[in-house]
Structure 1
């Protein structure tokens, strides 16, 4: 594996499972010092140990990025630990309420926005000054295909992810001259523990029926693998993509082609 992230410090939120975990492992294997951010301390410390055992460098920081103070603290700790910040993958997010829009109460609505939208706003607010101080870099926001399309029973999630794409584009324009690239990743169906768990939340289908429906919807006939998303995320965070900013980049098995 190459060392294209040698001496770089990359922060990843939602780092202990699925796409976040695979991305942390991939980017660490390519020489980065990785800040692993998540709420689950046991999983976080275990992943830190695994990356170090494999010869990489990683530090777990417990953080709930739905809170502005936690997002700010996370960046401070990254800079304090490694002396700089060069990039970030804002990957945390999930649908938390499912059903017809008429059944979503205001508490569930605001909780969905806090997790999927406010967390990205807080991240950008504090990551950008730190990255700018050390000469620029890249930020990637996981917007999912829900940023450009919509699905039944996920109105709050769809709304939040559409907003993440708008936030990404605005930040990209604001920071273009500062040498900070900000892009949105449009991930399709990926076989992760979260996706498996979401199959149990379908309002009318059994978990098995829901999973088979998701797989059948993929144009390529299968779900994506976390490692595939991680490889693309690493590419977009690297210096090989210095002319890409404000973009919505799909890795979705063809899903956006039908939206």
Structure 2
């Protein structure tokens, strides 16, 4: 009986390790893929919002300025500043980002954070989904003062079932069904063996003097009272 329990515990431990290994490997692979795809969606959304809502840019550049920030960076900073004035909560950008995510095959919840002059505005809901968060960030500068920087962050929420992935889940379910089927088959087989052995046991259980003999096999008897084995 002890050996049977040890085997069962050992099998369960091996099965658990196998399932955790499958889940971990799948999660690492999926997270990396989702990071890459969501980064493409984030950068594409930034470009698309700028093209849609800022059709024209007029530059007044002072070549003698000591400010070493490039013209391109200043244009990008001005664009983000203007877009934030037009849509202070950044819901518009969040919508564009989510659409770009869907184009990448990712139907996931997202949120946007916009930080400027120490103030942060976020589209994040209070009851935001749990699980893993992937964060993409881009900072825009107009000068060397960090308080003037504009930081745009995109959050992607990954529930665990998405992180593990459907193929891995199906594999785990299949292994579980096979394990349950094997366990039921083994238990039924053991019960049949016990039933086959118990017929002669009941008929051949003896009481001689103070001994109570039980047949273990054709040649082996067990005295359960005095703990004696007899071989015939």
Shorter chain as normaliser: what TM range?
Answer: under 0.3
Q: Which protein, 1 or 2, shows the higher relative CO under an 8 Å CA cutoff with sep ≥ 6? A: 1
Structure with more strand by fraction: 2
Task: Calculate the TM-score normalised by the size of structure 1.
Answer: 0.25
Task: Calculate the TM-score normalised by the size of structure 2.
Answer: 0.27
Larger Rg: 2
